[in-house]
Amino acid sequence: MKNEKEVWVERMMEYAAKPSSSTRSKEKVFHTILDILERPEGTNNIISFSQFRLVGIAALIILALNIGVIGFTIVSNNDKAESKSAYGLHEYNLDLY
Amino acid sequence: MSDRELLEKISAGDKKSFGAFYDKFQSQVYRTAFGYFHNNSDAEEIVQDVFVEVFRSAGKFKNNSNLSTWLYRITVNKSLDRIRFQKSAKRFSFFSAIFFDEDNGLKDNIPDSTDHGIEADKKESEKIIFRAMDKLAENQRTAFVLTQVEDLSGNEAAEIMGTTAKALESLIQRAKANLRKELGEMYNTRRK
């Protein structure tokens, strides 16, 4: 005899196999299709998965480059600051002597 | 007029024949798409995508192929494309939420119900099923939709998926086992 959980799971499996669907806006969908077909090819706003992935990869590359440039700028500014203070120290020593 | 004759006229740009073709096959495409997404909005988008593809590719249909199989293949491919797109979009929305406005996240695909009684119970069940099916591997999900939702024979479904009947049977068994396991875990979570 099945327990409550098994009965519930089997009921959900039946729903999965026979989802209740309705084509409420069949005509509206058809008109949308005709509108899409009337636009010149290549200008519709349905993008494919591969186009979306390409844009995502390009965005990540640009972000990585920006982080790289910012990091390089910070490091090179630090180097310049250190060399400035070293120069100052030499001058100080010269003054002493 | 036969389906092939309709398709020939569609390839010549005949919108009236296209309308007749749409009337005949719209519910098949819609049902299959609904089997993947369990909501009207996504299923209707798939119907649009499929019939736009049919209109543009009608001239490329090979006469020795089965029209129904061709249509199912387009529907399955469009549905899987959309699922991959939605999963990528969800990952990207998480990423962009870290750096940008928190409202930049994408809308959850699970249908929202404000109905009561039997309708609410049905919609709640569909939410649960959608979550469980969302976790299936693509080929298992396709095998399940084609054979259990569309009631296609093993041979027909195997031809659509480009596999053997034996491999398809294995996919169906794994899909059912994984669904049962996922639903069982959801049951346990709900009871807590």
Residue range B6-34, pLDDT digits in tens: 888 999 999 999 999 999 999 999 999 99
Q: Do B55 and A17 touch (CB under 8 A)?
A: no
Q: Which residue in chain A is spatially nearest to B132 when comparing CA positions?
A: A16
Q: With a cut of 70, say whether residue B92 has pLDDT above it.
A: no
- Rounded Cα gap, residues B18 and B26, in angstroms: 11
Under the banding of pLDDT at 50, 70 and 90, the label for residue B107 is very low
ipTM for the predicted complex comes to: 0.74
Q: What is the mean pLDDT of residues B127-154?
A: 92
A27 vs B: CB within 8 A = no
Chain A contacts of B48, Cβ < 8 Å?
29, 32-33, 36
Residue type, B65: S
For A24, the 3-state DSSP assignment is coil
Instruction: Check if the beta carbon of residue B21 is closer than 8 Å to that of residue B3.
Output: yes
Q: What is the pTM of this model?
A: 0.72
Q: Which residue in chain B is spatially nearest to A51 when comparing CA positions?
A: B85
Q: Do B84 and A49 touch (CB under 8 A)?
A: yes
Question: Which of B27, B89, B128 minimises the CB distance to A23?
Answer: B27
Residue B185 half-sphere exposure, CB side, CA atoms within 13 Å? Answer: 8
Query: Residues 55-74, chain B: which have Cβ within 8 Å of A?
Result: 55-56
Looking at per-residue pLDDT, the higher value among B127 and B81 belongs to B81
Q: Which residue in chain A is spatially nearest to B85 when comparing CA positions?
A: A49
Q: Do B52 and A46 touch (CB under 8 A)?
A: yes
Q: Do B187 and A49 touch (CB under 8 A)?
A: no
Chain A contacts of B81, Cβ < 8 Å?
48-49
Q: Which residue in chain A is spatially nearest to B47 when comparing CA positions?
A: A29
The reported pLDDT for the residue numbered B177 is 95
- Rounded Cα gap, residues B189 and B192, in angstroms: 5
Mean pLDDT over the full length of chain B: 84
The reported pLDDT for the residue numbered A40 is 73
Return the DSSP state at A46. Answer: -
% chain A with pLDDT above 70? 62
B184 vs A: CB within 8 A = yes
Chain B contacts of A13, Cβ < 8 Å?
176, 179-180, 183
Highest average pLDDT, of A15-24, A28-37, B167-176, B179-188, comes from B167-176
Per-residue model confidence as pLDDT tens digits over A14-53: 888 877 666 568 888 999 999 998 887 655 555 666 677 7
Instruction: Check if the beta carbon of residue B29 is closer than 8 Å to that of residue B75.
Output: yes
As a whole number of Å, the CA-based R_g of chain A is: 33
Q: With a cut of 60, say whether residue B104 has pLDDT above it.
A: no
- Rounded Cα gap, residues B132 and B121, in angstroms: 17
| Residue B129 C-alpha, separation from nearest chain A C-alpha, in angstroms | 6
For B166, the 3-state DSSP assignment is helix
Looking at per-residue pLDDT, the higher value among B154 and A45 belongs to B154
B110 vs A: CB within 8 A = no
Looking at per-residue pLDDT, the higher value among B121 and B10 belongs to B10
